[in-house]
């Protein structure tokens, strides 16, 4: 299949999903000079981008009809399936040789299904989940991990450059999603350690702020420790990434692990702790809110500590 040239000011881009991260990522593409058509289930979340020149659409199909490339950044695998392959989905109207890029963290199996559905329509499909949270999205320094055919991956380099800092081709369809599962397994276990460490620092009478200064630059340092631990100490649980989405991601990773006959007890424990956080009504907080569930196990409310 012949790929379209990806040129700012010429290539028409579509974007579906203008939430916490999607809005910033879409905005960066607009700043790079791409004409943009957008769709979001909650129209109020598109107003800022429309004010900057994006054209609103009523359905994903309408977005695709006006686009050479359509990016998707939604919440759950069932959302991905609906906006790409549903009755008013992208593949109902995407032109021949068009490209659909799913940047949602979703199922590797679904990524392969989308890939074959796109091929049947003479189109291209890439799975390209990201890591870096709301900060990485705002500052255009996301890590983007991509699965699918190499040719469309290379053709989209101007788009990757507008949104991310680390762009890596991982292999065949589904490989991007598998790589994101590796990322989420690392983060899940790291977040348990981060929150347990902050609890220990507090209960032992140390000043957690001073402790953080010591450990962040040593062998224990990590992105989560540098970016999320300060939020924990400030009782800032605003979502850079929703707890409910993280639970979804860990569930996908555990399902894939079972399929591969892998035992991942650390991930299973982290998953259960985050499920408990959802049960406490905190599913729409950021992942750093795990400190709340662990503090509750120790008999106190982290937010009201003295």
In CATH terms, the superfamily for domain 12-173 is NAD(P)-binding Rossmann-like Domain (3.40.50.720)
| Cα-based distances in Å from 84 to 8, 9, 63, 303 | 24, 25, 11, 41
User: Is the pLDDT at 65 greater than 90, yes or no?
Assistant: yes
- The neighbour count for residue 79, using CB atoms within 10 Å, is 18
Active site residue 248: no
Q: Say how far apart CA 274 and CA 247 lie, in whole Å.
A: 6
Which of 3-7, 8-12, 176-180, 292-296 is the least confident region? Answer: 3-7
Ranges of beta strands (E only) in the chain are: 12-16, 35-39, 55-56, 69-72, 99-102, 124-127, 130-131, 142-148, 164-171
DSSP assignment of 111-134 equals HHHHHHHHHHTT-EEEE--EESHH
How is the chain split into domains, by residue range? 12-173, 179-304
The average pLDDT across 5-20 equals 92
The catalytic position among 23, 180, 213, 248 is 180
Instruction: Name 200's Cβ contacts closer than 8 Å, sequence gap at least 6.
Output: none
Closest to 195 measured CA to CA, from 149, 243, 161, 155: 243
Domain covering 179-304: architecture: Orthogonal Bundle (1.10)
Half-sphere exposure of 145 (CA within 13 A, CB side): 20
pLDDT band per the 50, 70, 90 thresholds, residue 20: confident
Q: Say how far apart CA 205 and CA 230 lie, in whole Å.
A: 18
What percentage of the chain has pLDDT greater than the value 70? 99
Closest to 138 measured CA to CA, from 55, 24, 284, 297: 24
| Cα-based distances in Å from 1 to 61, 77, 215, 268 | 22, 27, 52, 42
Helices then strands, each counted (H, E), the chain: 15, 9
Quote the mean pLDDT of the chain. 95
Q: What is the pLDDT of residue 225?
A: 95
Specify the residue for token string 């791409």: 34
Q: What is the pLDDT of residue 2?
A: 64
Closest to 179 measured CA to CA, from 105, 126, 83: 105
Instruction: Name 210's Cβ contacts closer than 8 Å, sequence gap at least 6.
Output: none
User: Is the pLDDT at 142 greater than 70, yes or no?
Assistant: yes
pLDDT tens-place string over residues 252-290: 999 999 999 999 999 999 999 999 999 999 999 999 999
User: Is the pLDDT at 306 greater than 80, yes or no?
Assistant: no
Written as six digits, the tokens of 14 are 């579509």
Q: Say how far apart CA 290 and CA 270 lie, in whole Å.
A: 9
User: Is the pLDDT at 166 greater than 60, yes or no?
Assistant: yes
Instruction: Name 134's Cβ contacts closer than 8 Å, sequence gap at least 6.
Output: 20, 21, 24, 239, 240, 241
CA Rg value for the chain? 20
Classify 5 as helix, strand or coil: coil
Q: What are phi and psi of 109, to 5 degrees?
A: -65, -40
pLDDT tens-place string over residues 72-126: 999 999 999 999 999 999 999 999 999 999 999 999 999 999 999 999 999 999 9
């Amino acid at each position: 299949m012949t790929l379209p040239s990806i040129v700012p000011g010429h290539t028409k881009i579509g974007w579906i999903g203008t939430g916490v991260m999607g809005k910033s990522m879409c905005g960066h593409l607009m700043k790079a000079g791409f004409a943009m058509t957008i769709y979001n289930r909650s129209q109020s979340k598109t107003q800022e981008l429309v004010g900057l020149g994006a054209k609103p659409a009523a359905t994903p199909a309408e977005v695709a009809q006006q686009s050479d490339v359509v990016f998707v950044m939604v919440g759950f695998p069932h959302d991905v399936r609906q906006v790409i392959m549903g009755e008013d989905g992208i593949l109902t109207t995407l032109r021949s040789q068009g490209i659909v890029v799913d940047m949602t963290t979703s199922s590797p199996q679904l990524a392969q299904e989308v890939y074959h559905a796109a091929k049947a329509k003479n189109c291209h499909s890439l799975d390209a989940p990201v890591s870096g949270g709301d900060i990485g999205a705002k500052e255009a320094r996301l890590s983007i991990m991509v699965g699918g055919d190499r040719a469309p991956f290379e053709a989209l380099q101007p788009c990757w450059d507008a949104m991310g800092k680390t762009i890596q081709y991982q292999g065949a369809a589904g490989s991007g999603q598998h790589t994101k599962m590796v990322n989420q397994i690392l983060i899940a276990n790291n977040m348990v350690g981060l929150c347990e460490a902050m609890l220990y620092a507090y209960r032992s009478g140390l000043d957690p702020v001073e402790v953080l200064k010591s450990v962040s630059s040593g062998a224990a340092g990590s992105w989560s420790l540098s970016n999320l631990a300060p939020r924990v100490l400030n009782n800032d649980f605003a979502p850079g990434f929703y707890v409910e989405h993280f639970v979804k991601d860990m569930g996908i990773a555990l399902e894939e692990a079972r399929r591969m006959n892998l035992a991942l007890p650390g991930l299973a424990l982290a998953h259960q702790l985050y499920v408990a956080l959802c049960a406490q009504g905190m599913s729409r907080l950021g992942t750093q809110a795990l400190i709340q569930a662990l503090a509750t196990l120790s008999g106190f409310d982290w937010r009201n500590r003295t």
